[in-house]
Structure 1
Amino acid sequence: MNSFRNIALVGPYSSGKTTLLESLLHVTEVTTRKGSVKEGNTVGDASAEARERQMSTEVTAASFEHGGLSFTFLDCPGSVELLQETLNCLVGVDAAVVVCEPEPQKVLTLAPLFQTLDEWEIPHLVFINKMDRANSPFSEVLDALKQVSSRPLVLHQYPIGQNEDLQGFIDLVSEQAFHYHPDSPADPMPLPAELADQEKAAHTEMLEALADFDDHLLEELLEDIEPPQSEVLQDLKTELGADLIVPVFVGVAEAGYGVRPLLDALEKEAPEANDTAKSRELEPSSDRLVAQVLKNYFSPQGGKLSLVRVWQGTLTDGMILNQVRVGGIYRLLGQQQKTLTQAEAGDIVALSRLDGVKTGDTLVVVDGSAVPDLPTAQQLEPVYSLAIAPRDRKDEVKLSSAVSKLLEEDPSLSWEHRETTHEIILWGQGDIHLKIAIDRLGRKHKLPIKTHTPHVPYKESIRKSASSHGRYKHQTGGHGQFGDVRLDIKPKARGEGFTFKETIVGGVVPRQYIPGVEMGVREFLQHGVLGFPIVDIDVTLTDGSYHSVDSSEQAFKQAARIAMQSGLPNCQPVLLEPIERVILSTPTKFTSQVLRLISNHRGQVLGYEGKSGWDSWDEISAYLPMAEMQSLIIELRSLTQGVGFFIWRDDHLEEVPDKVAERVLARVETEF
């Protein structure tokens, strides 16, 4: 059985994750030439959407053999709008490398990621990249990182120099200094005398952090005994595997600095795949196959690949999982595929043609046995939307199928057909996210799309009561049409809906025609005086007359419409807008700005308090009009360095302020 290491590369946009993957592939001689994001020739970010934006737009898997181990690195997107991709893959890895820049002001962007890693107890290391561009003292960078991690950070290396003066690093386990060389192994060098005190303090701090979880090491320190390197390395492995500490490494991925020591630590200290499986209460050596889908891909030709983690048993080609036959097993290196006949527990591979299988699904051979309950990623709620339609109306029949495949590939998307505005709404995590989705519809599914900002589903109601009369009389030469009704129209309390009653006596309107009256009223309510559906209204049929020959249900339906049309303007029609209940999460340092943001969007703050389980974060409850929600996530992220987020739900309808209503009605009149 092979020994596997499955590692996620995570971190903010532009931190250098894809460049780090290129260096890892290069130093392990998997590739002969290191690719560049700028040149568009990297193993990762190979899709057209990624190349155009010079950013990761989906997870890239790269598997290779090195040092007797089988590695799979999952390069995850850094954009907060593509966070769902990262979350879906984190459930299937053994450890994560958090890649960040040496800028204290940017470290806050790591807070939600650290929160997730700590909450899910995923072992993780930090790689501080781009040390050749560091403008702040290393101690400030480290202090900022400590503020966003609930686990103690343990320095594994100490940098020698920074910016253009970056020379190398000190390994704090061996206390040996090394000199960097571009894309080559670092050479041992004498420890700089000016760093002797800092190195000794950092070494001691590392040992004291490890001793918090190892009584034997604590005794050695109390007795002033220097522990052997083997003991320190074993402590690092044990405590990293238990997600008790976060080792910190430094380097410059683009130049290959620090990449080999990081890889060495992943070999020696990162948890083994089998240990991760056992933590999920699975037995890797079991004969029963258990796997989990981490990601679905669709090629431009329409073929489906499912990236899966094999947790238990052996996966073979042609095996039937969840009632679907495996069409092929592949090891991925970016878009390159290597055909396999089987995959062992601990491996991450791609399976073809698993139709109907969704991200997060547990795959088993269905035999009546209980299916293991594996952890799955939380589903992020949508916060941004666009109305979509094919550029060519002839393509409307293709839209449903294409969007379904799009959602299968990216489950953080969703869509709805909004009946009141006759629009198809695509929901996601932000403007970039939806633009990527629109690009994929065009490229992969040959479905060019046009978009616009969704219309707000306004409603209307009335403020006062009125009575109205409607008569429909139409003569065509034969039998005519005659219907005559009197209606009482009254407002109802908000949210009570529509009711229709009748108080007819003496048969002035025969029973068989009353349903026609109600139908006419209901049809009129679909498009009221202001142009929107009418809600919260009570209509009572009080009187009328009929003709024994010419009356019909249809005639009374028309009479009812006439009565509504003449009576509603006398009831003081009022425009209503949907109000959302919103819960916003923000670092406390930005709370006052977020409160102003809510006020600027006609919102009503209901209260705020510390966010449970999140140190130095607040949670704000508010009501916001749907009309003010479209740009909310963009502005919230702008105010909070990209980390603020919210959840929302429909709550109630409320009258639109007069000045706003005037603008809305003027715009509607112009558009229609």
Structure 2
Amino acid sequence: MGQILSPASSQGAHSHEARARGPRLIALAGPFQCGKTTLLEAILAHAGAIPRQGPVAAGASVGDSSPEARAHQMSVESNVATVDYMGDGYTFIDLPGSVEFAHDSRNILPTVDAAVVVCEADPRKIPALQLILRQLEELGVPHFIFLNKIDAATIDVREALSILQQASRTPLLLRQVPIWNNGVAVGFIDLALERAYVYREHAPSEVVDISGGDVATEKEARYSMLERLADYDDALMEELISDIEPPRDQVFDDLTKELRAGLVVPLFIGSAERGAGVTRLLKAMRHEGPGIEATRVRLGVGEGGPALARIIRTIHTPHGGKMSVARVLRGSLADGQTVASPQGEDRISGMSHLMGAATSKTTEAKTGDVVALGRLDHAQTGDTIVADARSGAADLQKTRAEAPDPVHALALNVKDRKDEMRLAAAMTKLIEEDPSLVFVHDQELSQIKLFGQGEMHLRVALERLASRFNVAVDCSKPTVAYRETIRHKVTVRGRHKKQSGGHGQFGDVVMEIAPRGRGEGFAFSERVHGGSVPRQYFSSVEAGCQDALLHGPLGFPVVDVEAVLTDGSYHSVDSSDMAFRTAARIGMSEALEKAEPILLEPVLAVDIFVPSDAMSRATGIVSARRGQIMGFGPREGWDGWDKLETLIPEAEMDNLIVELRSATAGAGFYQARFDHLAEVVGKQARDIVAAHTAKANGG
């Protein structure tokens, strides 16, 4: 097909009416190490918000500004930057790429107007990309794809499109094709504008004529783009069938409508490190991306009513206290204003725009703005806040995204005992920032545990604990809650007699102690005849039995036994509740030793989700951990993924997520729940008991 308009007339190609108004919020998402933070830096440089693009690896970027991010050379939290571009306000949020820190995005993405997904055409990263695209699809967030590192690409863009399409349920729409020179992409042709651009280092690309060798490529690729658009536009389909050139405005209107409706995902190419392709991406966001109006509709926020905002992130700063990062969805908020959240009212004490770690004060936030609000003590991440609690009562709601189940754990021990209270207070603040952390004080095991999304996730949490709150801890593998039970039925007599002046103590019981089925717990009953043990003491006998079950002969709590009181004797003066309780405890303890105690370990039902090509590696990991494979098959609704149903002892779960992610380029995960207790035998049982005994004795 021929060119529609000359290059000179392309300035009016975008429909003026279609362009969204007001400040916009754009998320930068994508798999780990695909270049999101570098793209943010390139965008800020192109928008004039920073003098030049700083290298991320050198720790000179606006994003990844925290000490932990720079120490580990990776995004470990979202980074916010607000800029002006061509007279429009934009806030960009650079989201972590690692699945370990992905929960940060779950409260942010519902409020964004659009997302740019930064990726590479690397088959190994397709499962991770699929997780991100699925989340955007389910939220209904329009998104672009930025195929990064095109200057280092070794495959044709059509092949890249085919690879990336595996991750997206929505059709990908190729918007640009590269211009090659000696096997290197030196520029691109914009298929909507029908213009060629040559990259310039950290500067806007230069417009050039489409050379003879690229004309055929451009025509073929453009026609494929129009065919895809015509799937949702009958008028355009008629024009293509009739070989009529569609007006350029019509093409851009279709691109805009179909992007905003989630029917297509436009794919742009470039190199974030060189700043190549960034200007065209920005202009596509500006002209084709939706604005706050569409986001409000998606969230069900009406236009009428008091000012309303959604808290998308919480940050505790060392000196400024709590900051609630919020997007204003309706009306405007002012510094000093009182706002209501579902938990209560607060007065805004400080209002700032964010540029990475830097803040700039402002006094008002209008519809679409993203600002940090100071000292909202009641408001939590995910809360909707309103300027008037009475008229906006119906809008108050808690919408915090549900945190994923933890998959990694550490036992914590403070180095200084006086830090125990400070540890709890510090963890409360860290969890308010990151709800995917779970902090538990296990009373049974006398152990403090921290659960999270992976090894790096917990490492960063502990680094923040030390640097921000000056609480240092030692870490170890969490203790497994072993149990024991008995194998045989025995009959025992428990007798307690003590005389020490005045009233003595006398209790005498005969009991049958027997094992019960696994998971049936403890049961007590009586078959006493002739009043040998008065009824008033039955409950004391039961309590004494339960006392003995707290610590069995192997050193662990005892489960799944029954006790039947059959006989005994009493003294009219010296018998008491305590005497019979003590007698029962003595008898039960003796019975447990005689009845051949056995060790039990908790076994978890673990559902493992991995890309199909990693299934054999996953089964090997399970087998190496004494696991049983109960079933496997395709993961429902997920092309290219499998589900593995297993049973794995809790003692073998340590670092399982590390191995799974190593085998799946970071994409694999699991869900676990307690299933049953299973007997441990032989040397393994002896080693567990010996280690427990040594620990109890201070060894």
For normalisation by structure 2, the TM-score amounts to: 0.91
Does 1:182 find its partner at 2:201?
yes
- Decide which of 203, 221, 246 is 2:222's aligned counterpart: 203
Counterpart of 1:79 (choices 83, 86, 98) is: 98
Q: 1:618 aligns with which of 642, 648, 651?
A: 642
Q: Does the Cα contact within 8 Å between 1:102 and 1:130 map onto a contact in 2?
A: no
Paired position in structure 2 for 1:383: 407
Structure 2 CA distance, aligned partners of 1:55 and 1:115? 23
Matched, 1:325 2:347: yes
Query: Is the alpha carbon distance of 1:118 and 1:2 closer, same or farther for their aligned partners in structure 2, counting shifts above 3 Å?
Result: closer
- Structure 2 residue 321 is the aligned partner of structure 1 residue 303: yes
Q: Percent identity?
A: 44
Deviations 1:555-576 (A, max 9, x none): 3333322222221122121212
Per-residue deviation, 1:659: 4.7
CA contact (8 A) 1:601 1:624 kept: yes
Partner letter of residue 616 of structure 1? G
1:427 is aligned to 451
Task: Decide whether the 8 Å contact of 2:63 with 2:356 is kept in 1.
Answer: yes
Which segment is superposed worse, 197-206 or 134-143? Answer: 134-143
- Please give the alpha-carbon distance, in whole angstroms, between the structure 2 residues aligned to 1:606 and 1:598: 11
The equivalent position to 1:237 in structure 2, one of 256, 261, 279, is 256
Residues 275 and 464 of structure 1: CA distance in aligned 2, closer, same or farther (over 3 Å): same
CA distance in 2, matches of 1:44, 1:556: 69
Count of residues in correspondence between the two structures: 671
Counterpart contact for 1:513–1:553, Cα < 8 Å = yes
In structure 2, the residue matched to 1:35 is 54
User: Which position in structure 1 is the counterpart of 2:362?
Assistant: 340
Q: CA deviation at 1:295?
A: 0.8
Contact 2:119–2:146 (Cα < 8 Å) also in 1: yes
**1:378–1:230 Cα change, 3 Å:** farther
Q: The residue matched to 1:3 in structure 2 has which SS? A: coil
Contact 1:2–1:70 (CA<8 Å) still a contact in 2? no
Q: Which of 271, 284, 292 pairs up with 1:252?
A: 271
Partner residue of 1:367 out of 390, 407, 413: 390
Which residue of 156, 169, 181 maps to 1:150? 169
Question: Retained in 1: the 8 A contact 2:609–2:635?
Answer: yes
Code of the aligned partner of 2:404: L
| Distance across 2 between alignment mates of 1:313 and 1:111 | 36
1:353 aligns with 2:375: yes
2:662 matched to 1:644? no
Partners in 2 of 1:511 and 1:214 — Cα distance?
A: 85
Distance 2:183 2:694 in 1: 60
Q: Once the 2 structures are TM-superposed, how far is the Cα of residue 482 of structure 1 from its aligned partner?
A: 3.7
TM-score (norm 1): 0.95
Please give the alpha-carbon distance, in whole angstroms, between the structure 2 residues aligned to 1:113 and 1:41: 27
Q: What does the per-residue CA deviation read over 1:542-585, in whole Å, with 9 as the maximum and x for residues that have no partner?
A: 22334455444333333322222221122121212222222222
Q: CA deviation at 1:378?
A: 4.1
- 1:510 deviation in Å? 4.1
1:591 and 2:591 aligned = no
Q: Which moved more, 1:11-20 or 1:660-669?
A: 660-669
**Distance 1:498-1:17 versus aligned 2 partners, 3 A rule:** same
Structure 2 match to 1:292:
310
Q: Is the 8 A contact 1:220 1:226 kept in 2?
A: yes
Q: Which residue of 1 aligns with 2:429?
A: 405
Unpaired segments of 5 or more residues in structure 2? 1-19
Deviations 1:197-249, CA, capped at 9 Å, x for gaps: 32222111111111111112111111112223222222111111111111111
Aligned CA-pair RMSD:
2.2
Alignment partner of 1:315 is 2:315 = no
Q: Which residue of 1 aligns with 2:297?
A: 278
Write out per-residue CA displacement over residues 378-400 of structure 1, whole angstroms, 9 at most, x where no aligned residue: 43111111112322111112222
Say whether 1:604 aligns with 2:646.
no
Q: Does 1:128 align with 2:147?
A: yes
Tell me the secondary structure at the aligned position of residue 107 of structure 2.
helix
1:522 lines up with 2:541 in the alignment? no
C-alpha displacement at 1:454, in angstroms? 0.8
Distance 1:163 1:518, change over 3 A: farther
Which runs of 5 or more residues in structure 1 are unaligned? none
Distance 2:642 2:176 in 1: 34
**What does the per-residue CA deviation read over 1:296-324, in whole Å, with 9 as the maximum and x for residues that have no partner?**
11112361111112112222222222222
Aligned to 2:189: 170
**Shift in CA distance, 282/513, structure 1 to aligned 2, threshold 3 Å:** closer
In structure 2, distance between residues paired with 1:135 and 1:527: 65
Report the CA distance between 1:478 and its aligned residue: 5.9
Q: Could you say what secondary structure the match of 2:394 adopts? A: coil
TM-aligned CA deviation for residue 60 of structure 1: 0.8
| Distance in 2 of aligned mates of 1:670 and 1:141 | 59
Evaluate the alpha carbon distance shift between residue 161 and residue 372 of structure 1 in structure 2; reply closer, same or farther with a 3 A threshold.
farther
CA distance in 2, matches of 1:377, 1:176: 43
Q: Does 1:191 align with 2:191?
A: no
